[in-house]
Structure formats: structure tokens, C-alpha cells
Structure 1
Amino acid sequence: MVFLIKHDYGKYALGLVPSDEIVQEIDGLILESSYDALYSTNTFDHPSPESRSNSSSFLPGIVRVDILPSSGWYLYAFRKERIVEETWAGKPEKVIRYDSQNDVSFASPRTSFEAWIETTKGKAEPWKNTELQFLKDISRIVQHSIAQRGGEIEELNKELIRSNNALETFGYTLTHDLKNPLTSIQLSAQMFLRKKEMSDDLKLKLAENIIESSKLINDMMDKVYKMSQVSNVEFDFELIDPQPKILSIAENSKYQYEVLNLQFELGDCIPVWGERTLVYQLFLNIVGNAIKYSSKSSSPKVEVYSESIETSTVYYIKDNGIGMDLTDNSNIFEIFKRMPNTEGFEGSGIGLSIVKRIADKLHAKISVESKLNLGTIFRIEFQKNIE
């Protein structure tokens, strides 16, 4: 018995199996017959003269079991021709004689009882039920292996997507999120250089700005690196007052986007549960975007305020910038998604996708309302008492 597994990408043979052309002919004849997942015969009449004339390729015993027929996966078992010789006491034939006188026909008695051999060709050993069941079991094992490998490939694809996302996050942090603390360091250093005489309090404040911004840069790089190394990072959650960071973000963004006439209003800032660096990056992107996309308004205005509702703390970031047309149900949180009216503003379309990932890490919900040329309101809902 020889075996063949055939699929869309090739075949695997165990033993000397028929050629591809013969297997194709076999498949064509099997399709013309009615079978339910398994076809078997021990008297298959090969249409090809090549297979009938070659004893090694003439395999009248055939079983074909479906594995994944939609993908061209089949299991074949072939069995060679079994030539049967039966020995008789004399040739088993009757000679009919005719008696013309009595006008009758009659069988003549056998005159010889010498051994006579009858040869039967074109058949293979009949398939037993245990053999057919064995082939079905092999088919199921292969099906399971394919499904398992498919699952492994799916996991590898997910891992690849996760790695790509981590790389995008890492790159975006390098090119975007670090600009704000770097701007703070630059402004403080410039003031040190330009203002020869300053009070000790001002010197202390500028030095603290530089130290705090440097620490932010280090923390952001550390968090992004950790997220790029593993699929799940356990963050230390604590109760955070975001007010000082929001004020710092707004002040630095004014200079970064050259919006010195910005009207910035900060309402109640209720402490939120989260990881310190991620909360900073979340507000950095949303407040920074609000200021950036309001920068070309005649009277740019950005408001930030919060409220407490049942088990959540909700923050609102409102601007009177260019707004967005959301009537086509666009998912603004898709990576590289930029609205048509953002031409003329720096950006790569990654920021809001990073915002969504950070919100997910913080177990926060984020939504947006916007009208074209009127402005945008982002709503961030933080859970209370996250353990």
C-alpha cells in the first residue's frame, strides 16, 4: 500500500505513487461518481494505457478521503493489482454435441481431469472496514494539524501586528511626544542664556522645568520600550492630579505651534486613576492637537474641564479649530488616518491611533464630537478606583 497527500501547494508521497497525470485522471472519474467524503474501490479501471501496461503504476485499489476539499487537500491510498490463480480439476467448460439422428444437443462428458489454472487480473485486495476507518482517522489527524498550524500562523500574524504597532508607537514617541518636553528644556535654557540677571526663584523654576522635562523624556522612552518588548505590560496605577501637566502642555504647545494669542481655560481638574506617564501622553496628544488645529483661528481658544459621574471621571477638551466632518462615520483612530482639512498642519496621522491605544491601556473610553470649521470636543472617561 502506498499513500499520497495532495494539496494546492504540492504533494507528499509515501511509496511509489501514480504520476500527476494519472492522479488527475483518477480525480476526474471520482468527481463523476457520487461519494460522501470517502471513495473506495478495488477494481478501478484506469483510463490511461500507460497505467494499465505498467505493473508498477497499475493500482486498481484506490481510496480517496477528503481532508479540506475546498483547499484541494486529499488523502489517497493505492493498492497494487492482485493476480489470482485458481486451479481446477480439468478445464471447467462444457462441450455441446449434436445427435443428428435423434435431433438433440447434449453436454459431452469431460474427457480430461488434468489441472487447469484460471488467472484473474484487474483487481486488488478488497478494502477492509478497519483499513477505511484507519484512513479516515489519518484524515482527521491531518485536519487537526492543519487547524492547529492555522492557529499558530494566526498568532504569529497577531504578534507581527503587535510588533509593528509597538514600532509605530516607538517612532511616534521619538518624533512627536518628545517635542513638548524638549521645547520646555529649550525655552528654559534660552532664558538662562538671554536673561543675565534673574532672581534665585526664577533660576530654581527654570532648573526644575529642565529636570522635570528630562524625567518625562526618560519615563516615556522607558514605557514605550517595555510595551515593545512584551504583549502585556502591567502598569502601576495611582491617583493622579493632571492639572500641572495640562498647564505645562498648554504653555509649551503655545510656543511649539506659535499660538501666543491662545485663550486657554482650565476648569476643575479631578484626579484620575492611571499610570503617570501614559496619562501625560494622553493629554499631551489631545490638548496639543486642540492647540495645533486652533492655531490658525483668529481667536484660538481651548478649554479643559472635568466632571464626576457615578463610577467615572470625565474630561472634556474643547477647541474652536478646524473641526472634522464625521458624517461618513470615519474612524479617526485608525493609524495614518488624516482628515482632508488637515493639510498645512504638521502630522503623520499616527497620533490619534496612539491615543486610542493609551486609552485602552488606562481602561479609559474616548469619544469625539466635531463640526467642520467650528471645532472639536474630545471626551475621555476614566474609571474610578482601578485596582
Structure 2
Amino acid sequence: MPKNDSLKLLIDVLNHSPLATAIYDSSDLNIAFANDAMLTMWCSNRSIIGKPLSEAFPNFKEEGFSRILENVWRTGISYKAMDTPAGIVDGDVTHTRYFDFEYKALVNTDNQTYAILNTSIDVTARNRALQLLKKQEQQLSDNHDLEEITNSLAHDAKNPIAIVRLAIDTLKQDHLIDVQKREQWYDMIDQAMISLNTIIDKTVQLSEARAYAPEKTLINVADNIKFWCEDAILLYNSPNTRVETGLLLPVLGDQGGVFQIFTNIIGNAIKYSSSVQDPVVRIYSETTNKGVAYYITDNGIGIPEHEINEIYYNFQSGSNSSSYRGSGIGLFIVKRVIKRLDGQINISSKVNVGTEVRLFFPNQS
């Protein structure tokens, strides 16, 4: 079959597919194709074909979707998300709907992106049904939730304890350590004890309540990032790791929950990039019209794409991480805690290239 006929057939198939599909064919996210199902989902028409996404749908840029697509184009790493809210503009009305979607990077032999295939499913009805079910089951699940969070807090207590033990062993063994270095170790011990105290405080709160109900305040992440990174570098013996930070915005959450989320994600980024020649971890944030999104990226071993959803389960790690110590409980904890803060976590990864974690914290409780 001639090439043009094959292309025509493919477009015809996509046009008639019930799966909402769109294709972006340039770095400015030009909408080269959108089938009827996608146009219906977007509440739009074919006049948007040939326009950049941010021009056709300014609200998608405000909500952070354009930035995610730009990252996919730049890195060639596909992005999947589930139960993600998005504002759909229908005339003068904006409806919040929920979607399972994928931004699939299409790359050439030089690993350069030449197009992004966007597929999407509207799961609003499913999301609402699940929310109703969760409310009905909440009272029955209080004891289970309490046990789950208590276990996660006990898990997180191990890191500051390990830092203190490492510092004490170093100070005991090296009697000739200079004053400046000794003070740095003392600072490490002090910060670890502050972290441990936070965990103990949260445990006391849990013992007095049947369920974990975080009281949200504005948490200044920038004040803590340096200590969290230094602790992880020491813990995973990765002194060559270079941490690069950008804009570090405050987030709405509770101190214990934000601590759990960031220390686990930063720890994973440093741990799983520690064996590469020039390990780099980047941490930055951006605002959307619904909240703050944090990005934590590394150039480590990555996660097999088909295993990304599995690693959220308790005691699950990537199949290529067996040589790294850990129980695999970290991401399980993060997903549960950020869900309690009404936020989201999404992971994009490619084996031997690295991992990007996107953490979203909404503006409102």
C-alpha cells in the first residue's frame, strides 16, 4: 500500500476511534490532529487544528498541562496520569472533569521527539462514584488508616536515626577532625533530631485520634530543602551528587506530611542516581491556577515503564533496584499522604535515563 494511502487509513482509523486522541507535532505543541472524540471531550471543533495548545486552550497552560507536555517533548519521556482534574471550557461555563490520560513521546532513532500522541478517557463518573464510596466507607476504615499512617511514621523515623548514628560514629573514630567539619556534623545531628521530633509529635497526635486529619498551613519548603538533601546524601553515601534548585514555592499542607513526602522523594532521587558518574538531582516548582506543582528529577537508573504503577503498592520497588537497600515502602507512603492533603503524585521515568516526579499541592483545603 502506498505511503499516502497508509497515512490516510491511519487517520481514518483514529477519526473513528472511540478513544479520544490528539497529536502534537512541534515543540510549541501545535495540534496537528484531534479526532471527534477528543474534540467532544475538549468541547471544541476543528478550528483549533494547526494552533498551539496554549493558544487554543489558555486554561490548559494555566493548569500546568502545557508545561508537562513541554517536558515530554524535551526529554522524550512519556507521561501518564489518572483521576486528574481539568477545567473544560464550554461556552461561558467551565466544568471540572477528571481524566486518565497519556502523553506518549514519539522519538526518532536519535532519541529526539518528533510528535506526542495524547490519548484520554473521561473518568468523571467513576471519580464521583469512588468519592461517594469513600465517604461511606470512611468510618469503617478509620482504624486501618490509623495503623497505616503510624507504620509510615515509624518507617520515616529510621532516616534521622541513621544520620545521628553515622555522625556519632564519625566523630568517635576521627579524633583529628577540624573544628569546622565537627560543627557541620553537629548541625546534621541537630537537624536530624528536629526531624525525629516532628515524627514523634505526629505519632502522639495519632494516638489521641481515630483518624489522621491534617491541619493545613502554608509550609515554606525552601527552608528545609538544603537539610533534606544533605541528610539523603549522607544516608546513601553519595557525596558527588549535585543538587540544583530553582524556584521553591511554599505549599499548603501539614508539617509532618510535607516532611514525609519530600524526604522520601528526594531520598529516592539521590539513592537511585548515586551510582552514575555525575549524579544530578533538580528540584523546582511552578504555580498553576489550582495550586503548586513541584518537580524532582534525577539522572539515575530509572524505572521500567510497565512497573511505574506497581511501585505505589506497599513494599514494591523497581525490578532494576535490587542492589539498592530499602523496603520499597517509600512511594506507598508518599501516595497515601499526598492524597490526604488532596494532592497528586505522578512519575515519568526511563531506564538508564532518569526519573521525574511531579507533586501537586492544591491551593484550597
Match of 1:195 among 177, 186, 194: 177
Provide the TM-score with structure 2 as the length reference: 0.55
Q: Does 1:315 align with 2:316?
A: no
Provide the TM-score with structure 1 as the length reference: 0.52
Mapped partners of 2:163, 2:253: distance in 1? 20
Q: Does 1:242 align with 2:242?
A: no
Task: Tell me, yes or no, if the aligned pair for 2:228 and 2:263 is still in contact at 8 Å.
Answer: yes
Q: Does 1:353 align with 2:332?
A: yes
Partner of 1:266: 245
Partner of 1:84: none
- Give the 3 Å change call, closer, same or farther, for CA 253–385 of structure 1 in structure 2: same
- Give the 3 Å change call, closer, same or farther, for CA 216–322 of structure 1 in structure 2: same
Larger relative contact order (CA 8 Å, sep ≥ 6)? 2
> Where does the alignment leave 5 or more consecutive residues of structure 2 unmatched?
1-136
Partner of 2:152: 169
* Equivalences for residues 1-387 of structure 1 within 5 A: 158-159=141-142, 161-175=144-158, 177-179=159-161, 182=164, 186=168, 194-195=176-177, 197-198=179-180, 203=183, 209-227=188-206, 230-327=209-306, 330-386=309-365
Mapped partners of 2:230, 2:348: distance in 1? 25
Specify which structure has the higher proportion of helix.
2
Task: Tell me, yes or no, if the aligned pair for 1:262 and 1:299 is still in contact at 8 Å.
Answer: yes
Mapped partners of 2:149, 2:207: distance in 1? 5
Task: Tell me, yes or no, if the aligned pair for 1:188 and 1:210 is still in contact at 8 Å.
Answer: no
Deviation at 1:328, TM superposition (A): 5.5
What percent identity do the matched residue pairs reach? 28
Task: Tell me, yes or no, if the aligned pair for 1:287 and 1:317 is still in contact at 8 Å.
Answer: yes
Runs of 4+ in 1 over 6 A off after TM superposition: 154-157
CA displacement, residues 169-203 of structure 1 (integer Å, 9 cap, x when unaligned): 2431243x43465368548956995435559xx85
Q: SS where residue 357 of structure 1 aligns?
A: helix
Partner of 1:66: none
Mapped partners of 1:289, 1:329: distance in 2? 14
Q: SS where residue 304 of structure 1 aligns?
A: strand
Q: SS where residue 144 of structure 2 aligns?
A: helix
Mapped partners of 1:241, 1:155: distance in 2? 31
Task: Tell me, yes or no, if the aligned pair for 2:282 and 2:296 is still in contact at 8 Å.
Answer: yes
User: Number of matched residues?
Assistant: 229
Amino acid at match of 2:293: V
| Structure exhibiting the larger radius of gyration computed from Cα positions | 1
Deviation at 1:303, TM superposition (A): 0.5
Deviation at 1:163, TM superposition (A): 4.8
Q: SS where residue 335 of structure 2 aligns?
A: helix
Deviation at 1:298, TM superposition (A): 1.5
Q: SS where residue 273 of structure 2 aligns?
A: coil
Deviation at 1:235, TM superposition (A): 3.2
Mapped partners of 1:377, 1:323: distance in 2? 9
